[in-house]
Amino acid sequence: MEALTEKMYQDMGIDPKVCAYGEKIWDSLKDRWAEIDALSEYNQMKVIKAMQKNKVSEACLLGTTGYGYNDLGRETLERVYADIFHTENALVRPQSTCGTHALALALMSNLRPGDELLSPVGKPYDTLEEVIGIRPSRGSLKEYGISYRQVDLLGDGGFDFEAIKEAINEKTRLVTIQRSKGYQTRPTLSVERIGELIAFIKKIKPEVICMVDNCYGEFTQEMEPSDVGADLVVGSLIKNPGGGLAPIGGYLAGKKECIENAACRLTSPGLGREVGASLHALGPFYQGLFLAPSVTANALKAAIFAANVYESLGFSVVPNGKEPRYDIIQAVTFGNPEGVIAFCQGIQQAAPVDGYVTPEPWDMPGYDSPVIMAAGAFVSGSSIELSADGPIRPPYSVYFQGGLTWQHGKFGIMKTLQKLVEKGIIIKDFDKRNL
């Protein structure tokens, strides 16, 4: 490390021992960085190619008001998304407010009363439980007479093909596959594994719609689930594809039929995709998408760095320091509340916004134990920005993600290590460990 940079770390409250330890780990990961740079190089060109092909122009960045008929920028952006995901069509709008909303839209518009939804990969993301009606909720699919079936993953994380085959019946209309582990301990699914699962399902029932919840997975591989047979991929613009700039939004990309259904539900039957003013969202949508491959790569680097730092100190980490990555989330288990709290406070202290705030655990609505969250984000609640949170309950794990720049991610992890050392949670002579 350059002497000037080292001095800067010191000025920012990082002890030279902590700094040297982190740097040693960072240096040991050069091969991983090269791999990730190659990934983002490919995805960067994929995005530029789609933008050039669709003749993105200055006029596309302007946006419309009122009804938003003939919104050139909106229509072009949707074609750009469709080309990146290699799908027939896409719906990318500020009116679909977040990932949950986009997923709900996809489900509610493509299922009809009497249909059944199947998740062959276990329990879906928390917020979808109420959409589906697993937890009773106003307006859920269940209220509309749409049933739900679930097949859990096997103990080793594999697909339970036998049970999946049995679960598919004459009512099964849509299969939802969550790519990221989210806040569970199961492995994240690679695009290749998703492809295997879709092929298996289509062999049993070809007309079933295969949807992938793509949240946190975009641009972490060269391919997307729509390249391996998914009829519909759905995600949040406040995560990877928004590149940290999109201030709101969700996207759907997929078969024309599926997207038309969603558009008619988002606006109104008859109006469909023809209305929906883009206001001032298009500039950040385009620019965020342009930055997304590189921002996602930075978040991947931060996650790998965190895994290797904490694994080397003897903590359990998922994924581990060596595994390939299919999303940007990193879990670290501390085994005690103090570790979770110190980690989150360290992340907060590294933030460019609200860096002076000290987060504390609190009883958040909807959770059965206190939760601590660190987020000093430019876009409120954005988890492509450096952030961490953890429920205060055994096994006391923290979930860490994001980092618009790898330098920020690296600094954030250095800060967490500093905090843990200061609080005596990490053994005194940690820096003497043989790496």
For residue 345, give the nearest of 334, 356, 335 by alpha carbon.
Answer: 356
For residue 341, give the nearest of 425, 427, 431 by alpha carbon.
Answer: 425
How many C-beta atoms surround the C-beta of residue 375 within 10 A? 23
Torsion 204-208-214-215 (CA) sign: negative
Separation of alpha carbons 319 and 300, rounded Å:
12
All residues at 6 or more sequence positions from 52 whose CB lies less than 8 Å from its CB, including other chains? none
Query: Among 68, 120, 182, 359, which residue interacts with ligand PLP (rule: CB under 6 A)?
Result: 182
**Closest to ligand PLP by CB, 89 or 100:** 100
| 131 counts as binding ligand PLP under rule CB under 6 A | no
DSSP for 129-178, written as a single string: HHHHTSS--TT-TGGGT-EEEE-PPPTTS---HHHHHHH--TTEEEEEEE
Query: Among 81, 125, 290, 399, which residue interacts with ligand PLP (rule: CB under 6 A)?
Result: 125
**Closest to ligand PLP by CB, 96 or 333:** 96
**Closest to ligand PLP by CB, 178 or 294:** 178
What is the length of the chain?
435
Closest CB to ligand PLP: residue number: 99
Separation of alpha carbons 78 and 93, rounded Å:
9
Separation of alpha carbons 13 and 328, rounded Å:
27
User: Cis peptide before 395, with omega less than 30 degrees from 0?
Assistant: yes
Query: Among 87, 176, 180, 308, which residue interacts with ligand PLP (rule: CB under 6 A)?
Result: 180
Looking at 98-106, 112-120, 240-248, 386-394, which segment touches ligand PLP (CB under 6 A)?
A: 98-106
CB of 307 to ligand PLP, least distance (A): 18
Query: Among 78, 130, 213, 231, which residue interacts with ligand PLP (rule: CB under 6 A)?
Result: 213
Q: Which of residues 132-171 bind ligand PLP (CB under 6 A)?
A: none
Query: Among 19, 25, 151, 215, which residue interacts with ligand PLP (rule: CB under 6 A)?
Result: 215
Q: Which of residues 226-265 bind ligand PLP (CB under 6 A)?
A: 236, 238
Separation of alpha carbons 390 and 43, rounded Å:
31
Separation of alpha carbons 404 and 98, rounded Å:
19
| 175 counts as binding ligand PLP under rule CB under 6 A | no
| 330 counts as binding ligand PLP under rule CB under 6 A | no
Looking at 76-84, 97-105, 331-339, 393-401, which segment touches ligand PLP (CB under 6 A)?
A: 97-105
Buried b / exposed e over 325-361, threshold 16 CB at 10 Å, is bbbbbbbbbbeebebbbbbbbbbbbbbeeeeeeebeb
CB of 268 to ligand PLP, least distance (A): 23
Q: Which two tokens stand for residue 117?
A: 């939804």
| 285 counts as binding ligand PLP under rule CB under 6 A | no
CB of 28 to ligand PLP, least distance (A): 29
| 194 counts as binding ligand PLP under rule CB under 6 A | no
| 178 counts as binding ligand PLP under rule CB under 6 A | yes
Strands lying side by side in the sheet with 387-391: 316-318, 330-333, 397-401, 387-391, 371-375
Separation of alpha carbons 262 and 269, rounded Å:
10
| 304 counts as binding ligand PLP under rule CB under 6 A | no
Query: Among 94, 99, 359, 361, which residue interacts with ligand PLP (rule: CB under 6 A)?
Result: 99
**Closest to ligand PLP by CB, 25 or 281:** 281
CB of 401 to ligand PLP, least distance (A): 9
**Closest to ligand PLP by CB, 125 or 396:** 125
Amino acid (one-letter) located at 253: A
| 400 counts as binding ligand PLP under rule CB under 6 A | no
| 189 counts as binding ligand PLP under rule CB under 6 A | no
How many residues make contact with ligand PLP (CB under 6 A)? 13
CB of 54 to ligand PLP, least distance (A): 26
**Closest to ligand PLP by CB, 215 or 344:** 215
**Interface residues with ligand PLP (CB under 6 A)?**
98-100, 125, 127, 178, 180, 182, 213, 215-216, 236, 238
